[in-house]
Amino acid sequence: VPADMYERPKAGFGIPLESWLRGPLRDWAAERLFESDAVAMLNDGMIKAAWEEHQSGRRNRSREIWDVAVFAEWAVGRVTHSDW
């Protein structure tokens, strides 16, 4: 085995977030992005544009979509309109 194979730094394993958000997590993410009261305080135009770019395959926006969807999931029951 070549030395550069075993002497390099450890590398983690990524998850296929890009394809999951177009496939099995699509409906879950859409509900969080477009039906959550917590997301109402964010720029819905930017969220919608990122979603459309990602779903069409024009651009990988999985990180942004994931971050907002997880925030919305966390905020359920914690954030209300009166908080902002």
Quote the domain boundaries for residue 49.
27-79
Q: What is the pLDDT of residue 81?
A: 58
* Cα separations in angstroms, 74 against 40, 53, 67, 81: 14, 24, 11, 15
Determine the Cα–Cα distance for residues 81 and 40; give it in Å rounded to an integer.
9
Question: Which ranges of the chain would DSSP assign to H, the alpha helix?
Answer: 3-6, 17-20, 26-35, 44-56, 62-75
The answer to whether residue 50 sits within a structural domain is yes
The answer to whether residue 84 sits within a structural domain is no
Look-up of token digits 């819905």: 44
Determine the Cα–Cα distance for residues 79 and 7; give it in Å rounded to an integer.
48
Q: What is the pLDDT of residue 83?
A: 57
The answer to whether residue 11 sits within a structural domain is no
The answer to whether residue 10 sits within a structural domain is no
pLDDT tens readout for residues 17-35: 999 999 999 999 999 999 9
The answer to whether residue 68 sits within a structural domain is yes
Q: What is the pLDDT of residue 71?
A: 93
pLDDT tens readout for residues 67-83: 999 999 998 877 665 65
pLDDT tens readout for residues 43-69: 989 999 999 999 999 999 999 999 999
Total number of domains in the chain = 1
